[in-house]
Amino acid sequence: DPCATSPEVSAFNLRISCEISFKLFHKRSNETDPLSPETLQEVSARLRKDLLRGLGKHSHHKAPVKMLPTFVRATPDGTEKGDFLALDLGGTNFRVLHVRVEEEAQKVLKMDSQICAIPQEMMLGTGEQLFDHIATCLGDFLESHNLKCQTLPLGFTFSFPCEQLEIDKSILIRWTKGFNCSGVEGKDVVQLLKEAIQRTGDYHIGSVAMVNDTVGTMMSCGYKDQSCEIGMIIGTGTNACYMEEIKNVKRIEGEDGRMCINTEWGGFGDDGSLDDILTEFDVEVDKTSINPGVHIFEKMISGMYLGEIVRLVLVKMTKDKLLFKGQISEALGTSGRFETKFISEIEDGLENAKKILTELGLDWGLVDASVVCLVCDTISSRSAYLCAAALATLVNRIRNNRKLDHLKTTVGVDGTVYRKHPTFSSKLQKAVRLLAPQCDITFLVSEDGSGKGAAMVTAVAQRLAHQSRLLEESDGEDDDDEEEEEGQ
């Protein structure tokens, strides 16, 4: 236990730990263990209902969990190939990539990539400024890598909730994660990108595929492991996608086959369904965010918010004279100053905790340091368990859809919280196994899903277009019909 220093400190920690847990879950104080499997099962059951509402033709418009069709109907089959461009907007940075998919080697290679910073003012400026910046970065990249004369297909990872009408037509529903550019909500983002590229008058791009980062993550793992049918992100924001039976997606025509659905589970709780597990700290984080009232589940889980939740708990405990001799430093009193990465560092070892507390200008003692560690552990564990409950809902749903007693599946995962936190992934995995005992889940950390995955989506879209062209061309030819039957 990295939080414990001596038996006395351990005993003290235990008491504080109970106190923190109690305060965090005060509305459910009838339960002794606030994150009991029963509570998580209940959360999972609520999400199960919300998935159905999101998929329904008439319930969709009011559903907090949007369940957005992605027009990705197939995962990779290993025959995709070619050169692609990828753009990645929505995590910590904006990136441009040149990706090569090699069939023979079954590999997706990142040839080159470049990071372009998006200044804070731009995240809150006009849409035109943002897309002009993106188009200029792409132009510079093509120039410096001698790619300007080629017209390459482009995968655009745009990690915000979008109502996708086709693979290259995608309307932004709303900004999340600190972005709030004017004039983009309700518009087709692919069109905005194309217009900005035209304004540069400098280069051309081929066909475009729009991709949510969860989908990119699933697809990038799918090349390696063809049973990868779920993509999950726990980074600045959180979300997941999975392969759903088309017949269950009531807003889409057709009965056969599957389509990848972007759940946008960050919006879970937006209709008040999680109010009984929200704490005063969650309510405060939501109130002071730039999008109050929405993405409630995301605000309990993802990297954009975890640090701030911990800070608020520490401030409260200090005011209650449980920490730092009751003295709040200027840094601790300032919103945003306790970064989410501190949580990982602090839980990695008490020495880190001491260093960070000193940097935050706090007058700490040994007990303070280990209590801070416990607070971090409480908040990050809650995040991991809530994610586990949500993921369990998805795997259980896939298993039921296929009427299987036992499901073996793979989840492609990405995001700084999942990758960098010392115990997050193991806690999440353990809890999912508990909540979905009939599912055998492999977790694959995606290697650059937002970049390579976007290229993969574009490649699969091309393969399918090519295949259906071939089918059309061979229409009416008897030999082919026979072959087709044989193959069935």
* CB of residue 88 to ligand BGC, shortest distance in Å: 10
* CB of residue 250 to ligand BGC, shortest distance in Å: 22
Q: Which one, 153 or 235, has the nearer CB to ligand BGC?
A: 235
23, 177, 299, 427: the active-site residue: 177
Tokens 């369990």 correspond to what residue?
392
Q: Which one, 160 or 338, has the nearer CB to ligand BGC?
A: 160
CA distance 11 to 149: 68
50, 88, 188, 213: the active-site residue: 213
* CB of residue 445 to ligand BGC, shortest distance in Å: 15
Q: Which one, 238 or 318, has the nearer CB to ligand BGC?
A: 238
420 is catalytic: no
Residues that bind ligand BGC (CB under 6 A): 90, 159-161, 176-177, 212-214, 233, 235, 237-239, 264, 266, 298
CA distance 403 to 393: 15
Q: Which one, 301 or 373, has the nearer CB to ligand BGC?
A: 301
* CB of residue 484 to ligand BGC, shortest distance in Å: 38
* CB of residue 397 to ligand BGC, shortest distance in Å: 19
* CB of residue 401 to ligand BGC, shortest distance in Å: 22
* Chain residue whose CB lies nearest ligand BGC: 237
Q: Which one, 353 or 386, has the nearer CB to ligand BGC?
A: 386
Taking the CA atoms of residue 111, residue 117, residue 118 and residue 121 in that order, the dihedral angle to the nearest 10 degrees is -170
Q: Which one, 324 or 443, has the nearer CB to ligand BGC?
A: 443
* Cα–Cα distance list, 121 to 286, 292, 302 (Å): 21, 20, 22
Q: Which one, 90 or 269, has the nearer CB to ligand BGC?
A: 90
Neighbours of 335 (CB within 10 A): 13
Q: Which one, 173 or 464, has the nearer CB to ligand BGC?
A: 173
Q: Which contacts qualify for 47-55: CB closer than 8 Å, 24 or more apart?
A: 47/265, 47/268, 47/389, 47/390, 47/393, 48/393, 48/396, 48/397, 50/268, 50/273, 51/263, 51/393, 51/394, 51/397, 54/263, 55/244, 55/248, 55/249, 55/250, 55/251, 55/261
Tokens 């305060």 correspond to what residue?
23
* CB of residue 305 to ligand BGC, shortest distance in Å: 11
How many angstroms separate the most distant Cα atoms in the chain? 86
Residue 64, amino acid: P
Residue 59, amino acid: S
Count CA within 13 A, CB hemisphere, residue 33. 7
* CB of residue 241 to ligand BGC, shortest distance in Å: 8
177 is catalytic: yes
Residues contacting residue 130 through CB under 8 Å, at least 6 positions apart:
118, 122, 123, 181, 184
Task: Please identify every residue annotated as catalytic.
Answer: 177, 213
